[in-house]
Amino acid sequence: STERQAGGVTGFTDNPVNAAMARVLDDVRREDHPGAVADYIPQLATADPEAFGVASVSVHGHSYGAGDYRVPFTIQSMSKPFVYALALEALGVEAVCARIGVEPSGEAFNGISFDPSGRPENPLINAGAIVSTSLIPGVDGAERFATIRDGLSRFAGRELELDEAVYRSESETGFRNLALAALARSTDALRVPIEDALDPYFRQCSLLVDAHDVAVMGGTLANGGVNPVTGERVVSTAVAQHVLSVMTGCGMYDRSGAWMVSVGIPAKSGVGGGIVAATPGEYGICVFSPPLDEAGNSSRGVAVLQRMSSEFGLHLL
């Protein structure tokens, strides 16, 4: 039976998984994990640095959580694998891979990382994510965002809302993303007007989620594309496998190699402080803590997933 009920998640206390996750949060809270809340988008700087939560959802639809797993925050770059999945589902692997690579860039999330044929190196850096967004069917940016919001809501199992203030803040200050989109347009990776890709990209990053929502999203990938809570098939099994493979190599930017060695779970971080992880056939997990390390990954989030991986034997290898 699932613990999810209308209006919230219940049954979170008298359960060994919840107790173990609460203990992991306490342990990590006591350690020193230096980090700073992202401030390159002014509105993100208002996040509470002490917010800290974790949620997991099994492929059978059981929900677990500890700490601030019901505190809303913006999805940011954790949207990227899911929009990429929607693009693959709509266009097929060949068409998408003709425009976006699947290689780790070894560079920062906002790096100028294009391969010799002009494709962004992968869909999880900003350049590749903007191209993914451009591939979502729609006559313009508004229609594209409507499709994205609907798709991400199906991954989450509930209708996701936009944080207008973060969206405005990001679109007023996103000059580097404008430059990356212009470079992608110059190489022909991007074939729609820049605004019709960039505006829905800023909006997708500004969708509000909590850790439980994102654990369901990750659980949908872990479950071969079927949402484990609603039972709805969101993408094909092949698409879910493809996306998890790319997350394995590229999800943590220039820390992806160290991440695979120490944690060993496909994952994706966001500058809102979330990290989504998915153990194939088992769990979707999301940790939330806004202060970020130098690579732009949640400092406490990395520590929690390291610990959960070793304590619960989640390393894939």
Residue numbers annotated as active site: 77, 80, 201, 253, 271
- Closer residue to ligand DON (CB): 89 or 170: 170
Site string for ligand DON, 156-195 (x = CB under 6 A): --------------x------x------------------
* Whole-number Å distance between alpha carbons of 128 and 119: 8
**Other beta carbons within 10 Å of 92:** 12
The amino acid at 161? E
- Least distance (Å) between residue 202 CB and ligand DON: 7
Residue 126 near ligand DON by CB under 6 A:
yes
Residue nearest to ligand DON (CB): 77
Site for ligand DON in 267-286 (CB under 6 A): 269-271
Measured CA to CA in angstroms, residue 7 lies from 4, 10, 75, 241 at distances of 9, 9, 20, 32
- Closer residue to ligand DON (CB): 61 or 270: 270
Query: In this structure, what token pair is assigned to residue 269?
Result: 């971080």
Contact 126, 106 (CB under 8 A): no
Site for ligand DON in 16-55 (CB under 6 A): none
Contact 77, 124 (CB under 8 A): yes
* Whole-number Å distance between alpha carbons of 274 and 287: 6
Contact 216, 9 (CB under 8 A): no
Contact 278, 264 (CB under 8 A): no
**Looking at 49-57, 144-152, 215-223, 265-273, which segment touches ligand DON (CB under 6 A)?**
265-273
Out of 37, 100, 205, 276, the only residue in the binding site for ligand DON (CB under 6 A) is 205
Q: How many residues bind ligand DON (CB under 6 A)?
A: 11
Residue 296 near ligand DON by CB under 6 A:
yes
In the block, residue with structure tokens 């070793």: 310
Phi, psi of 94 (to 5 degrees): -65, -50
Q: Strands 53-58 and 4-5, how do they pair?
A: unpaired
- Closer residue to ligand DON (CB): 240 or 271: 271
Residue 293 near ligand DON by CB under 6 A:
no
Using CB under 6 A as the criterion, which residues of the chain lie in contact with ligand DON when the complex forms? 76-77, 109, 126, 170, 177, 205, 269-271, 296
